[in-house]
Amino acid sequence: MPTLFHDADLELNLAGTHQHVEFLLDRGLNAENGVLLVGGAAGDFSTMTLDERVRVTEAAVQASDNRIGVVMGAQTTSTRELVKLACAAQRVGAEFIQVSPPFYFTHTEADLSDFFRAGAEAADVGLVIYNTHWISAGVSLELVEKLAEIPNVVGLKWTSPFGLEMTFERVLIGFA
């Protein structure tokens, strides 16, 4: 979902968020065919404060009224902030968080495993791991296997440039 702002002051337009959720649900989006991703890249996570990210997620959860799952975008470079986002997602009723490898710095797979595990252990929400190959080291099949052992890792959002170490098909074959 895009995050809606008021043009005049760039404050969150939470009433508009409610309307947008209703619009999507009225036109057929439901728990059988989708989820609402709030505060992801297209949802302007990088331009919002942590509090704003929580408030827009809470607005989407309230508007959805348990008719569809809500995923809170939890992209961050900070393990501490990831833990706060996971706890906030649980507190406001989001079922899942979407977590990408921390951007800006290169990390080892052990670093990434620790980062994702911290988010998983912080709250009772499902994690959707988002491999963002353009801003982090590639996530190997071995790391995906380790992450799949974490009970609340529920999904993998995969990107990979053609010809690199792992393709989406290999992931599907390994975990289907």
Domains identified in the chain and CATH numbers:
1-60 (no CATH), 74-175 (3.20.20.70)
**Alpha-carbon Rg for the chain in angstroms:** 16
Of 25 and 167, which is predicted with more confidence?
25
- Given 84, 104, 146, 157, which residue is catalytic? 157
Per-residue pLDDT, averaged over 134-157, amounts to 82
Say what the pLDDT of residue 133 is: 65
Query: How high is the mean pLDDT of the chain?
Result: 89
Per-residue pLDDT, averaged over 71-87, amounts to 96
Of 175 and 92, which is predicted with more confidence?
92
> For this structure, is 104 an active site residue?
no
Say what the pLDDT of residue 104 is: 78
Residue 175 scores a pLDDT above 70: no
Per-residue pLDDT, averaged over 134-138, amounts to 63
Say what the pLDDT of residue 27 is: 97
Say what the pLDDT of residue 108 is: 87
18: left (phi over 0), alpha (psi -120 to 50) or beta: alpha
Q: From residue 176, how far is each of 139, 151, 152 by CA, in Å? A: 18, 17, 17
Say what the pLDDT of residue 137 is: 61
Q: Please measure the distance between the N-terminal and C-terminal CA atoms of the chain and give it in whole angstroms.
A: 28
Q: How many CA atoms lie within 13 A of 164 on its CB side?
A: 14
Summarised one tens digit per residue, pLDDT across range 11-21 is: 999 999 999 99
Indicate whether this model's pTM tops 0.75: yes
Of 36 and 165, which is predicted with more confidence?
36
